[in-house]
Amino acid sequence: MKETGIYSELREQILSKVSIRGITEISVNWWLEILTRVVLSESIEKGAENINVDSLIRAVVDDVADNPTQVTITTYISGVKVNIEMVKLEEGVWLRKPTNGDLEHFLSSPMPTPDMLTASGVLEIVTTQKIQNGISRMPKTYIMLLLLFRKGSVREVATYWRANSIFRFPWGGEAGTTPPPISTPNEEFPFNEEYEHRFIKFAKRLRSRLPIDEKSGDLLVSDYRGISIARYQDAILKNERDINRISYAIMGLEALFLRPGENAELKLRLSLRVSKFMHIITRDNAVDVFNTINEAYDIRSKFVHRSTQRKEGTDLIIILDKVLNYLRKSIVVFLSFENKGKDKIIELLDDCILDPNAESELQGLLSDSLELIN
């Protein structure tokens, strides 16, 4: 090892670049001992002449100084069938379809699960962060954006990450998490080339508007939009009876279209507001939307009060599909506004019934958001 000259080179570069008071010979020797193992391992794998000394030095300096380091995150997802090789979503973020190498990776995993085989898309993320901060919130952000982009049961199947670190994280090592296997509705949408630019624009517009915790990436249910998204997740991801899923979706619409403190005629208020809103943003027939929300609200009331439910059937599937789309599209539009947008939208929706000028004002207010609706 020492004969290669790499050992002494590493020692000199470490001492010249790491400026920490109280550094001892013991510390330097310990660092070099670990580096020796790394270099030997890479020498066997790549050949001594191919060892990237600069990369090793940067990793040591960042580790000792507790600096942020480069982390590569690979998140496997289901619910969206990615049919393109790879698309760059933003700097350091890519979406691609799974490969044979991904399958081999799953099968060699210490704890492979059947869920891994359902992966139909891959998020690749390269970011710079402090390792102790945990995994970047970006995978959760993009999973949420895909969930809202089209109607599909988009969720994380497994996440693996590698860090450019030697002491804080095993060099060349990999760690990972796999959420508990769950049964989800088999609802998947295809991500084709026609969606590439649409989704990039969609994500750029909405990713900073998602009501999520900056560190964990978890939804903030203190925000009415966070509550609405949480209920949408329940409706689209929980493999429960249709009546349950319809109820979750109606609860999500309530979070958007009902004000705190409103206690009377809730079904009528919700049906009128949603029907007018959907007519403006999608040109759906307002009467059809009104009747659908009315019936769905009755189902929700029986669900909440644990009343006897009617048998499931095709009509429930149709209602569920419609209400899920009403909720998804409504969330997207509400996200495009600041928090104060809810009161203004509801005020104009109520005024629309008697005042045609209010409808024109609302159409103008919503016009910039229509390109986000798919």
Report the 3 state secondary structure along the chain: CHHHCHHHHHHHHHHHHCCCCCCCHHHHHHHHHHHHHHHHHHHHHHCHHHCCHHHHHHHHHHHHCCCCEEEEEEEEEECEEECCCEEEEECCEEEECCCHHHHHHHHCCCCCCHHHHHCCEEEEEEEEECHHHCCCCHHHHHHHHHHHHCCCCCEEEEEEEEECCCCCCCCCCCEEECCCCCCCCCCCEEECHHHHHHHHHHHHHHCCCCCECCCCCCECCCCHHHHHHHHHHHHHHCCCCHHHHHHHHHHHHHHHHCCCCCCCCHHHHHHHHHHHHHHHHHCCCHHHHHHHHHHHHHHHHHHHCCCCCCCCCHHHHHHHHHHHHHHHHHHHHHHCCCCCHHHHHHHHHHHCCCCHHHHHHHHHHHHHHHHHCC
CA-wise closest residue to 121 among 195, 211, 174: 195
pLDDT at site 115: 77
Better pLDDT: 114 or 312: 114
**Is 108's pLDDT higher than 60?**
yes
Query: What's the pLDDT band for 1 if we cut at 50, 70, 90?
Result: very low
**Is 307's pLDDT higher than 70?**
no
356 contacts: CB under 8 Å, gap ≥ 6: none
pLDDT digits (tens, 9 = 90+) for 183-216: 788 789 999 999 999 999 999 999 999 998 877 7
Cβ-in-10-Å burial (0-12, 13-18, 19+) of 280 comes to buried
* Lowest pLDDT segment from 17-21, 61-65, 104-108, 120-124: 17-21
Out of 9-13, 115-119, 276-280, the most confident range is 276-280
Query: What's the pLDDT band for 351 if we cut at 50, 70, 90?
Result: very high
pLDDT digits (tens, 9 = 90+) for 235-255: 999 999 999 999 999 999 999
**Is 303's pLDDT higher than 70?**
yes
Q: CA 277, CA 330: separation in Å to the nearest integer? A: 8
Share of the chain above pLDDT 70, in %: 83
pLDDT at site 3: 46
Q: Average per-residue pLDDT in the chain?
A: 84
Query: What's the pLDDT band for 349 if we cut at 50, 70, 90?
Result: very high
pLDDT at site 276: 95
Query: What's the pLDDT band for 74 if we cut at 50, 70, 90?
Result: very high
**Is 2's pLDDT higher than 50?**
no
pLDDT at site 191: 96
